[in-house]
């Protein structure tokens, strides 16, 4: 467990030692503000909440988060440092968790830096602080789920581009399940009971429900279990493909 | 300290390591030799618990690699082939990271890092990014990382690969100086290195051990070993018969050197010692001045090639 912290520290430093961190943060901030203000017409709706802002997050994360996670294992494999790392006295759990949590904190920082949005709504009216907080929590949890998928994808290959594409494709499945249009298509041939079940597997259903300000433990559990399963997959993949 | 038992490693249809057995004790420096793809690195990866064996096992410092990989990894210092390092870190940061993973904290970690920086002469690049290091320094950082926790077992995959002669010499001295209290395995393609540092050499070919001896013993296998070489001013062919008549001489070869009237004569003997005096007397009688006399030691290169090629032909 001590090594978890050592790995976490190294991985966090690795983000900030490379330009990726700054590019990621700047692009994330620009896109999230840009979509909110220009595409959703934040000022026109004249509502003192961050709905318009958060509703873009699943789509932003879909492309941005794989870029933050693609490096994690693929680069270790490409440069051979995975051999160095895994012959040190560390457990796979420590390494996998350390890398994951580092990337989560990093994305959390990017998310935190959107705080001026809160001031903007506060200026526009009297927003519900609890709902905003829940929105941030939901977004952070969802980011963790995307990242865990990205980590597992990165462990599969030594090529960062492949890791990126894999992560986007898998994440897209999680987004589409439960997304309006897609649900419509499924509704044409699935019985409604099954349809609900399928919708429960998607990110958006749970993210929306947290965003409304209702903290249902099922939603939290959903995101945590996606992370858990994906990180377990990450461990299994590493174990199985060590030498390749 | 290390005991390898019938180790086998398959990569799909490829059998990289094919039933290797050997033991290495404390104070030994074992050189791993073998052609490319022989299975040296694969064996080392199993010993350091990076790869699991397909069958068989290895005991490293009383611990079985299949049973307690963490305990094995604590005892082993490992320099992987090609010296992979985190290029986004600086030397100090990297060694500090390894120290912390190895369980050193605070002052202790700083002291351990300072110690290896001194013994590997890394102070000058302390704050340099690993990205920008020259190959020699990279290699030294990899070496420093491996010995940081003063491990009882050291496994080095081509530790002097790509170093200039001075640095090779330095690294060898470092290895030799640690050889007394540790058990060291190193792989190399440089045969003189084996003679310079190793107490024992194992030659692997296609995943099997084909020789396991001291470097001296290996050299004794050479056909040239113990042969007498003379540089003589003479006509070759005539002399060959002349000398072959002498007692104790088994075979004589003569080779004219192009650029002079000199001739290189090699005399192989069946007896333990070459009949040097009779040879010289005979040559003096023929009025052939002898320019140079050498007792050949034989070359490991030749032994290496004859052993690994012979095996190749058999397969
Ligand atoms: N991950 C892998 N997947 C498939 N085959 C592999 C893998 N690693 C090694 N091999 C094969 O195993 C054999 C032994 O390789 P190994 O790297 O152990 O050789 P080596 O003795 O270290 O050679 P060299 O002197 O070139 O370093 C080779 O045929 C190699 O192609
Ligand atoms: Mg090798």
- A146-178 per-position pLDDT tens digit: 999 999 999 999 999 999 999 999 999 888 887
Contacts across the A-B interface (CB distance below 8 Å): 64
Q: Is the CB of B308 under 6 A from ligand 1?
A: no
Give the residue, B261 or B106, on which the prediction is more confident: B106
Which of the two residues, A187 and B252, has the higher pLDDT score?
A: B252
ipTM of the complex, rounded to two decimals: 0.88
Segment among A79-83, A197-201, A205-209 with least mean pLDDT = A197-201
Confidence of residue B310 (pLDDT cuts 50, 70, 90): low
Q: Is it the case that residue A6 has pLDDT exceeding 50? A: yes
Name the nearest CA neighbour of A144 among A211, A218, A229, A214: A229
Give φ, ψ of A230 to 5 degrees.
Answer: -65, -35
Question: Ligand 1 centroid vs B147 CA: distance in angstroms?
Answer: 25
Residue A132 has pLDDT above 90, yes or no: no
Element (H, E) at B232: strand B228-233
Q: Measure the CA dihedral B206/B207/B210/B214, to 10°.
A: 120
Residue A87 to residue B73, Cβ atoms within 8 A: yes
Taking alpha carbons only, the member of B54, B49, B61 closest to residue B24 is B61
Q: Which of A120-124, A183-187, A206-210 has the highest mean pLDDT?
A: A206-210
Ligand 1 touching residue B271 (CB < 6 A) = no
What average pLDDT does the structure give for chain B? 87
Give tens-digit pLDDT for B181-198.
899 999 999 888 888 899
Contact between chains at A91 and B100 (C-beta distance less than 8 A): no
Segment A5-16 shows an average pLDDT of 94
What residues in A contact B97, CB-CB < 8 Å? 6, 10
The residues that bridge with B267 in the sheet, in sequence order, are B228, B252
Q: What is the mean pLDDT of residues B165-185?
A: 89
The answer, yes or no, to whether residue A234 has pLDDT greater than 70, is yes
For residue B42, the ligand 1 atom closest to its alpha carbon is: 18
Owning domain of residue A209: 2-240
CA B174 to chain centre: 15
Least confident residue range of A105-109, B66-70, B90-94, B275-279: B275-279
Inform me whether the pLDDT recorded for B163 exceeds 80. yes
Pocket flag, ligand 1, residue B36 (CB < 6 Å): yes
Pick A35 or A146 by higher pLDDT.
A146
pLDDT at B118: 92
Quote the tokens at residue B192: 């003189």
Architecture of the CATH domain B228-296: 2-Layer Sandwich (3.30)
CATH topology of domain B2-219: Rossmann fold (3.40.50)
pLDDT in tens, B86-131: 999 999 999 999 999 999 998 999 999 999 999 888 999 999 999 9
> pTM for this structure?
0.88
Is the pLDDT assigned to residue B286 strictly greater than 70? yes
Q: Tell me if B40 CB under 6 Å of ligand 1.
A: yes
Mean pLDDT of chain A: 87
Indicate if ligand 1 lies below 6 Å from the C-beta of B37. yes
CB atoms within 10 A of CB A44: 9
The predicted pLDDT at position A180 comes to: 66
- Any ligand 1 atom below 6 A from CB of B39: yes
In chain A, what residues touch B79 (CB-CB under 8 Å)? none
Please state, for a pLDDT cut of 90, what percent of chain B lies above it.
50
| Contact residues on chain B for A11, CB-CB shorter than 8 A | none
CA dist., res. B32 & res. B157, Å (int) = 9
Residues in CB range of A15: below 8 A, 6 or more apart: A21, A68, A102, A103, A106
Domain ranges across chain B: 2-219, 228-296
CA distance B101 to chain A (A): 6
Strand B2-11 relative to strand B14-24, pairing: antiparallel
**Distance between A139 CA and the closest CA of chain B, angstroms:** 30
Q: Which residue of B11, B80, B103 is in closest CB contact with A84?
A: B80
Give yes or no for B98 touching A (CB within 8 A).
yes
SS3 sequence, chain A?
A: CHHHHHHHHHHHHHHHCCHHHHHHHHHHHHHHHHHHHHHCCHHHHCCCCCHHHHCCHHHHHHHHHHHHHCHHHHHHHHHCHHHHHHCCCCCHHHHHHHHHHHHHHHHHHHHHCCCHHHHHHHHHCCCCHHHHHHHHHHHHHHHHHHHHHHHHHHHCCCCHHHHHHHHHHHHHHHHHCCCHHHHHHHHCCCCHHHHHHHHHCCHHHHHHHHHCCCCCHHHHHHHHHHHHHHHHHHHHHHHHCCCC
Question: At CA A173, angle to CA A161 and CA A241, rounded to 5?
Answer: 50
Answer yes or no: is pLDDT of A129 > 90: no
Q: Say if residue B314's pLDDT is above 60.
A: no
Residue of B nearest to A10 (CA): B97
Q: What is the pLDDT of residue A48?
A: 64
pLDDT, residue B313, reads: 47
- What residues in B contact A87, CB-CB < 8 Å? 48-50, 73, 76, 78, 80
Nearest to B171 by CA among B138, B220, B125: B138
Burial of A39 (0-12, 13-18, 19+ CB in 10 A): exposed
Q: Which of B58, B86, B105 to mutate to test the interface with A (most CBs of A within 10 A)?
A: B86
More confident residue, B225 or A160: A160
* Nearest protein Cα to ligand 1, atom 17: B41
């Amino acid at each position: 467990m001590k090594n978890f912290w050592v790995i976490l520290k190294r991985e966090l430093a690795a983000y900030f030692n490379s330009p990726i961190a700054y590019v990621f943060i700047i692009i994330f901030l620009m896109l999230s503000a840009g979509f909110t203000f220009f595409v959703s017409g934040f000022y026109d709706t004249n509502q003192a909440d961050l709905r318009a802002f958060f509703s873009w997050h699943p789509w932003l994360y879909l492309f941005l988060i794989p870029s933050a996670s693609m490096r994690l294992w693929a680069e270790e494999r490409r440069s051979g440092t995975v051999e160095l790392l895994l012959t040190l006295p560390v457990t796979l759990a420590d390494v996998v968790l350390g890398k994951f949590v580092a990337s989560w904190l990093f994305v959390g920082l990017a998310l935190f830096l959107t705080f001026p949005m809160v001031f903007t709504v506060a200026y526009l009216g009297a927003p519900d602080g609890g709902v905003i907080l829940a929105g941030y929590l939901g977004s952070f949890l969802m980011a963790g789920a995307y990242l865990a998928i990205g980590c597992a994808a990165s462990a599969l290959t030594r090529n960062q581009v492949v890791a990126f594409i894999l992560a986007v494709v898998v994440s897209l499945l999680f987004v589409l399940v439960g997304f309006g249009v897609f649900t419509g298509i499924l509704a044409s041939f699935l019985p409604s009971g099954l349809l609900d079940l399928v919708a429960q597997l998607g990110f958006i259903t749970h993210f929306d429900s947290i965003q409304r300000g209702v903290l249902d433990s099922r939603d939290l559990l959903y995101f945590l279990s996606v992370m858990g399963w994906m990180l377990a997959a990450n461990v299994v993949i590493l174990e199985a493909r060590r030498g390749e | 300290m290390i005991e390898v038992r019938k180790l086998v490693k398959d990569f799909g249809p490829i059998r990289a390591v094919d039933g290797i057995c050997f033991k290495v004790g404390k104070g030994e420096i074992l050189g791993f030799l073998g052609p490319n793809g022989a299975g040296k690195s694969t064996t080392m990866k199993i010993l350091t618990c990076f790869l699991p064996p397909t069958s068989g096992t290895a005991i490293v410092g009383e611990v079985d690699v299949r049973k307690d990989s963490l305990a094995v990894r604590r005892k082993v210092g490992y320099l992987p082939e090609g010296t992979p390092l985190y290029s986004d870190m600086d030397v100090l940061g990297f060694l500090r990271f390894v120290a912390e993973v190895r369980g050193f904290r605070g002052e202790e970690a700083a002291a351990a890092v300072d110690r290896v920086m001194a013994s590997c002469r890394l102070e000058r690049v302390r704050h340099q990014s690993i990205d920008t290091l020259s190959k020699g320094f990279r290699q030294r950082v990899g070496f420093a990382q491996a010995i940081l926790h003063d491990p009882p077992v050291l496994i080095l995959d081509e530790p002097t690969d790509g170093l200039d002669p001075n640095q090779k010499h330095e690294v060898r001295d470092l290895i030799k100086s640690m050889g007394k209290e540790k058990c060291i395995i190193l792989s190399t393609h440089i045969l003189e290195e084996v003679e310079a540092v190793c107490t024992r050499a194992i030659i692997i070919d296609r995943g099997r051990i084909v020789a396991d001896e001291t470097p001296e013993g290996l050299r004794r296998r050479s056909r040239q070993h113990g042969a007498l070489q003379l540089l003589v001013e003479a006509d070759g062919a005539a002399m060959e018969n002349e000398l072959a008549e002498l007692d104790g001489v088994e075979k004589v070869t003569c080779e004219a050197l192009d650029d002079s009237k000199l001739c290189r004569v090699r005399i192989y003997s069946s007896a333990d010692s070459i009949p040097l005096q009779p040879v010289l007397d005979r040559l003096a009688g023929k009025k052939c001045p002898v320019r140079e006399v050498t007792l050949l030691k034989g070359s490991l290169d030749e032994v290496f090639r004859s052993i690994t090629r012979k095996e190749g032909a058999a397969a």
